[in-house]
Amino acid sequence: MTTIPTRPDLSSQVTRLAARLEDAAPLEILSTALEHFGGRIAAVSSFGTESAVLLHMLAQVDRTTPVLFLDTGHLFAETLTYRDALIDRLGLTDVRTYTPDAALRQARDADNDLWASDTDACCGLRKVEPLSRALAPFTAWINGRKRYQAATRAQIPFVEQDDGRVKFNPLAALGAAEIEGWMTANQLPRHPMQRFGFSSIGCMPCTSRALPGEDQRAGRWRGQSKVECGIHVKKTA
Protein backbone atom coordinates (compact mmCIF):
# COMPACT_ATOMS: atom_id res chain seq x y z
CA MET A 1 0.00 0.00 0.00
CA THR A 2 1.30 3.44 -0.92
CA THR A 3 2.00 5.69 2.04
CA ILE A 4 1.46 9.40 1.51
CA PRO A 5 4.37 11.34 3.02
CA THR A 6 3.84 13.27 6.22
CA ARG A 7 3.24 16.99 5.66
CA PRO A 8 6.74 18.17 6.68
CA ASP A 9 8.31 15.64 4.29
CA LEU A 10 5.81 16.53 1.57
CA SER A 11 6.58 20.23 1.91
CA SER A 12 10.30 19.61 1.59
CA GLN A 13 9.75 17.46 -1.51
CA VAL A 14 7.67 20.19 -3.12
CA THR A 15 10.28 22.82 -2.30
CA ARG A 16 13.11 20.76 -3.81
CA LEU A 17 11.16 19.84 -6.92
CA ALA A 18 9.95 23.40 -7.46
CA ALA A 19 13.54 24.67 -7.33
CA ARG A 20 14.74 21.93 -9.67
CA LEU A 21 11.99 22.59 -12.23
CA GLU A 22 11.81 26.37 -12.01
CA ASP A 23 12.81 26.89 -15.65
CA ALA A 24 11.97 23.44 -17.01
CA ALA A 25 10.02 22.67 -20.15
CA PRO A 26 6.81 20.60 -19.92
CA LEU A 27 8.39 17.34 -21.09
CA GLU A 28 11.17 17.69 -18.52
CA ILE A 29 8.61 18.33 -15.77
CA LEU A 30 6.68 15.24 -16.81
CA SER A 31 9.79 13.09 -17.00
CA THR A 32 10.94 14.25 -13.58
CA ALA A 33 7.51 13.69 -12.05
CA LEU A 34 7.23 10.16 -13.39
CA GLU A 35 10.81 9.31 -12.43
CA HIS A 36 10.43 10.70 -8.92
CA PHE A 37 7.04 9.13 -8.21
CA GLY A 38 7.18 6.04 -10.42
CA GLY A 39 4.19 3.80 -9.72
CA ARG A 40 2.70 6.38 -7.34
CA ILE A 41 1.56 9.04 -9.78
CA ALA A 42 -1.37 9.51 -12.14
CA ALA A 43 -2.55 12.14 -14.59
CA VAL A 44 -6.05 13.60 -14.39
CA SER A 45 -7.71 14.64 -17.63
CA SER A 46 -11.11 16.03 -18.58
CA PHE A 47 -10.51 15.15 -22.25
CA GLY A 48 -11.49 18.74 -22.99
CA THR A 49 -10.43 21.16 -25.72
CA GLU A 50 -6.74 21.28 -24.78
CA SER A 51 -6.33 17.89 -23.12
CA ALA A 52 -4.67 16.34 -26.15
CA VAL A 53 -1.49 18.37 -25.56
CA LEU A 54 -0.78 17.04 -22.06
CA LEU A 55 -1.84 13.52 -23.01
CA HIS A 56 0.34 13.56 -26.12
CA MET A 57 3.34 14.65 -24.06
CA LEU A 58 2.55 12.04 -21.43
CA ALA A 59 2.37 9.33 -24.09
CA GLN A 60 5.83 10.34 -25.30
CA VAL A 61 7.29 9.89 -21.82
CA ASP A 62 5.29 6.84 -20.66
CA ARG A 63 1.99 5.85 -22.27
CA THR A 64 1.33 3.34 -19.46
CA THR A 65 0.90 6.12 -16.87
CA PRO A 66 -2.57 5.92 -15.27
CA VAL A 67 -4.93 8.61 -16.57
CA LEU A 68 -7.97 9.33 -14.40
CA PHE A 69 -11.16 10.53 -16.08
CA LEU A 70 -14.33 11.66 -14.29
CA ASP A 71 -17.56 10.79 -16.08
CA THR A 72 -20.02 12.98 -14.17
CA GLY A 73 -23.11 11.69 -15.93
CA HIS A 74 -23.71 15.18 -17.35
CA LEU A 75 -20.94 15.29 -19.96
CA PHE A 76 -21.50 16.03 -23.63
CA ALA A 77 -21.64 12.81 -25.65
CA GLU A 78 -18.93 14.37 -27.80
CA THR A 79 -16.53 14.37 -24.82
CA LEU A 80 -16.92 10.62 -24.36
CA THR A 81 -16.38 10.06 -28.09
CA TYR A 82 -13.31 12.31 -27.98
CA ARG A 83 -11.92 10.41 -24.98
CA ASP A 84 -12.08 7.15 -26.89
CA ALA A 85 -10.54 8.72 -30.01
CA LEU A 86 -7.60 10.16 -28.05
CA ILE A 87 -6.96 6.91 -26.22
CA ASP A 88 -6.72 5.16 -29.57
CA ARG A 89 -4.68 7.91 -31.28
CA LEU A 90 -2.13 8.21 -28.46
CA GLY A 91 -1.95 4.56 -27.46
CA LEU A 92 -2.74 5.25 -23.81
CA THR A 93 -2.96 1.91 -22.01
CA ASP A 94 -4.36 2.75 -18.55
CA VAL A 95 -7.22 5.26 -18.72
CA ARG A 96 -9.51 4.77 -15.72
CA THR A 97 -13.04 6.19 -15.74
CA TYR A 98 -14.71 7.09 -12.44
CA THR A 99 -18.37 7.90 -11.89
CA PRO A 100 -20.32 9.35 -8.96
CA ASP A 101 -20.93 7.02 -6.05
CA ALA A 102 -24.32 5.40 -6.80
CA ALA A 103 -25.63 5.53 -3.25
CA LEU A 104 -24.61 9.16 -2.79
CA ARG A 105 -26.12 10.14 -6.11
CA GLN A 106 -29.41 8.45 -5.23
CA ALA A 107 -29.49 10.19 -1.85
CA ARG A 108 -28.45 13.65 -3.02
CA ASP A 109 -29.46 13.90 -6.66
CA ALA A 110 -31.96 11.20 -7.54
CA ASP A 111 -33.57 13.40 -10.20
CA ASN A 112 -30.25 14.47 -11.73
CA ASP A 113 -31.10 18.15 -11.36
CA LEU A 114 -28.94 19.23 -8.44
CA TRP A 115 -26.92 21.38 -10.86
CA ALA A 116 -29.92 23.70 -11.23
CA SER A 117 -30.13 24.56 -7.51
CA ASP A 118 -26.61 24.06 -6.10
CA THR A 119 -23.72 23.81 -8.54
CA ASP A 120 -21.14 23.46 -5.76
CA ALA A 121 -22.97 20.47 -4.30
CA CYS A 122 -23.35 18.95 -7.76
CA CYS A 123 -19.64 19.32 -8.48
CA GLY A 124 -18.84 17.89 -5.07
CA LEU A 125 -20.93 14.83 -5.76
CA ARG A 126 -19.96 14.26 -9.38
CA LYS A 127 -16.33 15.43 -9.48
CA VAL A 128 -14.69 16.08 -6.11
CA GLU A 129 -15.78 12.85 -4.40
CA PRO A 130 -14.99 10.59 -7.39
CA LEU A 131 -11.57 12.19 -7.80
CA SER A 132 -10.83 11.64 -4.12
CA ARG A 133 -11.49 7.93 -4.64
CA ALA A 134 -9.49 7.86 -7.86
CA LEU A 135 -6.44 9.49 -6.28
CA ALA A 136 -6.48 7.33 -3.15
CA PRO A 137 -3.66 4.99 -4.31
CA PHE A 138 -1.40 7.82 -5.50
CA THR A 139 1.13 10.12 -3.86
CA ALA A 140 1.26 12.65 -6.73
CA TRP A 141 -0.79 13.72 -9.73
CA ILE A 142 -0.48 15.65 -12.97
CA ASN A 143 -3.01 18.04 -14.50
CA GLY A 144 -3.19 20.34 -17.49
CA ARG A 145 -4.07 23.75 -16.02
CA LYS A 146 -2.45 26.81 -17.60
CA ARG A 147 -1.95 30.33 -16.29
CA TYR A 148 -3.43 32.00 -19.33
CA GLN A 149 -6.81 30.26 -19.01
CA ALA A 150 -8.26 32.55 -16.35
CA ALA A 151 -7.29 35.23 -13.86
CA THR A 152 -7.76 32.70 -11.05
CA ARG A 153 -5.04 30.50 -12.59
CA ALA A 154 -2.52 33.23 -13.37
CA GLN A 155 -0.10 32.30 -10.57
CA ILE A 156 -0.17 28.51 -10.56
CA PRO A 157 3.31 26.99 -10.04
CA PHE A 158 4.82 23.97 -11.78
CA VAL A 159 4.80 22.01 -8.53
CA GLU A 160 2.59 22.45 -5.49
CA GLN A 161 1.24 20.70 -2.43
CA ASP A 162 -2.46 19.90 -2.51
CA ASP A 163 -4.40 17.91 0.09
CA GLY A 164 -1.53 15.67 1.14
CA ARG A 165 -0.17 15.07 -2.36
CA VAL A 166 2.28 16.62 -4.78
CA LYS A 167 0.55 18.15 -7.78
CA PHE A 168 2.35 18.90 -11.04
CA ASN A 169 1.19 21.58 -13.49
CA PRO A 170 3.65 20.99 -16.37
CA LEU A 171 1.81 23.18 -18.90
CA ALA A 172 1.33 26.14 -16.55
CA ALA A 173 3.58 28.55 -18.47
CA LEU A 174 2.31 27.73 -21.96
CA GLY A 175 0.18 30.28 -23.77
CA ALA A 176 -2.68 29.79 -26.19
CA ALA A 177 -0.40 30.11 -29.21
CA GLU A 178 1.94 27.42 -27.89
CA ILE A 179 -0.96 25.06 -27.19
CA GLU A 180 -2.30 25.65 -30.69
CA GLY A 181 1.16 25.19 -32.16
CA TRP A 182 1.60 21.83 -30.42
CA MET A 183 -1.84 20.68 -31.56
CA THR A 184 -1.12 21.65 -35.15
CA ALA A 185 2.46 20.38 -35.33
CA ASN A 186 1.46 16.97 -34.01
CA GLN A 187 -1.84 16.79 -35.91
CA LEU A 188 -3.78 16.10 -32.75
CA PRO A 189 -7.54 15.63 -33.07
CA ARG A 190 -9.79 18.44 -31.84
CA HIS A 191 -12.67 18.16 -29.43
CA PRO A 192 -15.81 18.09 -31.61
CA MET A 193 -17.42 20.95 -29.64
CA GLN A 194 -14.67 23.39 -30.58
CA ARG A 195 -16.14 23.91 -34.01
CA PHE A 196 -19.25 25.30 -32.32
CA GLY A 197 -17.28 27.90 -30.39
CA PHE A 198 -16.75 26.12 -27.07
CA SER A 199 -13.29 26.93 -25.69
CA SER A 200 -13.63 25.13 -22.33
CA ILE A 201 -15.93 22.16 -21.91
CA GLY A 202 -17.29 20.66 -18.72
CA CYS A 203 -20.74 19.34 -17.91
CA MET A 204 -23.44 20.10 -20.46
CA PRO A 205 -25.83 22.05 -18.15
CA CYS A 206 -23.08 24.40 -16.94
CA THR A 207 -21.08 25.01 -20.13
CA SER A 208 -21.61 27.76 -22.70
CA ARG A 209 -19.50 29.44 -25.36
CA ALA A 210 -16.89 32.00 -24.29
CA LEU A 211 -17.36 35.31 -26.09
CA PRO A 212 -14.54 37.15 -27.90
CA GLY A 213 -12.28 38.87 -25.38
CA GLU A 214 -13.39 36.71 -22.46
CA ASP A 215 -11.22 34.30 -20.47
CA GLN A 216 -11.13 30.84 -22.00
CA ARG A 217 -13.19 29.51 -19.09
CA ALA A 218 -15.77 32.31 -19.05
CA GLY A 219 -18.41 29.96 -20.43
CA ARG A 220 -18.26 27.73 -17.35
CA TRP A 221 -21.03 28.38 -14.78
CA ARG A 222 -21.95 31.59 -16.59
CA GLY A 223 -23.75 34.12 -14.44
CA GLN A 224 -22.33 32.74 -11.20
CA SER A 225 -19.35 33.69 -9.07
CA LYS A 226 -18.19 30.07 -9.35
CA VAL A 227 -15.03 29.65 -11.43
CA GLU A 228 -13.73 26.18 -10.44
CA CYS A 229 -15.47 22.85 -9.97
CA GLY A 230 -13.63 22.18 -6.70
CA ILE A 231 -11.02 19.62 -7.62
CA HIS A 232 -8.37 22.36 -7.81
CA VAL A 233 -9.51 24.23 -4.70
CA LYS A 234 -7.16 23.54 -1.85
CA LYS A 235 -8.70 22.46 1.40
CA THR A 236 -8.09 24.84 4.29
CA ALA A 237 -8.36 22.25 7.06
Q: Is 123 an annotated catalytic residue?
A: no
**Torsions phi, psi for 229 (to 5 deg):** -75, -25
DSSP state of 195: G
E strand or H helix at 86: helix 77-90
Which among 127, 132, 130 has a CA at the least distance from the CA of 114? 127
Cα(66)–Cα(140) distance, integer angstroms: 12
Residue 77: CA count within 13 A, CB half-sphere: 0
- Spot the catalytic one: 122, 203, 206, 229: 229
Q: Other C-beta atoms within 10 Å of 40: how many?
A: 17
Residues annotated as catalytic (active site), given as ranges: 229
